[in-house]
Structure 1
Amino acid sequence: MEKVVAALWVPPGETREAYGARLLETLPQALVSAGASRVRLNIRDATVAPGEALVQQWQAPQQAAVAQFWMPSANARFRGEVDVALAAHSAWFAAWLVCESEIIPNTAHPCSANVSPGKQLGEIPERTWGWSQASFISFRPDLSREAAIAHWHSHHTRVAIETQANFEYVQNLIVRPLTENAPAYSAFVEECFPINALSEPEAFFDAVGNPAKFKANLDAMMDSCHAFLDFTRNDIIPTSQFDFAQRLRPSGLT
């Protein structure tokens, strides 16, 4: 199985809110019908609007949503129907093959807990508790890929765990682009936080009521990020996470 991450751009004239709602209604089933599985959508919606100050932007316009899913093979000859589904749900899209590393699994607020017992298979699940920071990141050009990955995995991962209030942390190293003209990111990272971390830096850095801890955590994070990231080529957006892994089946809704 191979994992694919796709960034989606909103069509001209469609509001971000309307676009997100349309994606939730029809894209997951379209992807599953095309051969994908374990679909997850990250949507920029009104719930995460208080986190606009956290946005880092390289692409203009910036992506409005992210689709994550798995396929038996992401090779082009087997991906045709998936690409058609993504194209039908975006002004344009970019996709990458990634290698996933689940650093902190979401056991505190699992997605399965967000599905009410009365809901039917195929219905839109409730959004995951809190919010998800969806980060398309690029390594510093003056570092070799090997050196950047070594810092990310051997040092930065520990810093991210120890200095933040993240309850889910997934690293996706980009193996190769799957679409022409895809932005040259190095990785895609998803981290979930409590909702107040959207607008309260102390909550983001797990230091509410502790100024000294907040400064220490912030400084450690910034020092580590600057050691391997190119801040001019990152797209980082706050999103609502919707996980359809247990909601859809290849045969359709039942």
Structure 2
Amino acid sequence: MISRPSGPAGRLIVALDVPEAARAESLAHKVAPHAGLVKLGLELFCAEGPGVLGRLARAAPVFLDLKLHDIPNTVAGAVRSLAPLGASMLTLHAGGGPAMIAAAREAAEKAGRERPLLLAVTVLTSMDEAALEATGVSGGAAAQVVRLARMAVSAGADGLVCSPREIRAIRDSLGEAPALVVPGIRPAGAAAGDQSRVATPEEAVRDGADWIVVGRPVSGAGNPGEAARAITAGLPR
């Protein structure tokens, strides 16, 4: 499995939020000198198919963010199919429950090669309190994130995906053991876009994020490589 970063250089994950493989590959090569991983999400994976992962992996390790969520047997089968592609990280929804997470972990362990880090997504960074209430979740995002985090780690998840607002609550509850990947990161002055629970890169790392995920502030910049470099250079040592 990929090791947790020991310093700023490896903490940045750049989200390749573009729909074409050629654009994604070009972007990956531009940011690779200043990023620990690149993120391959659902849009690009669906548009280009599994083969795009190998093309991106030639530039940088790949965080495969598909947020698997189905019955345990189906998710286990998906993990078996995805593991040989060589992703360094793979996401699944914590809301799938302990049996689903345990099945994913068992499938990953049996993959017969260096397996991806399994990350359980807690509450999407686009969700605010009203959105959670609409889905029947009361008590606020932080409480729900901690509930899901405890369950997911107990069931076999290697780490968690949470917004920067819940980093401290997870660390207080679970300590340093789970790896934390944190989206919803916006450099100072950047627009929040469709994210509801955000923080700056520096704030997230100081609070205990292992990796931070940045998309449009890098991918949409005139010089993506320089944008990535500036973010990494500003992180706490």
The alignment's TM-score, normalised by the length of structure 1, stands at: 0.29
- Structure possessing the higher radius of gyration over alpha carbons: 1
Higher relative contact order (CA 8 A, sep 6+): 1
More strand by share: 1
More helix by share: 2
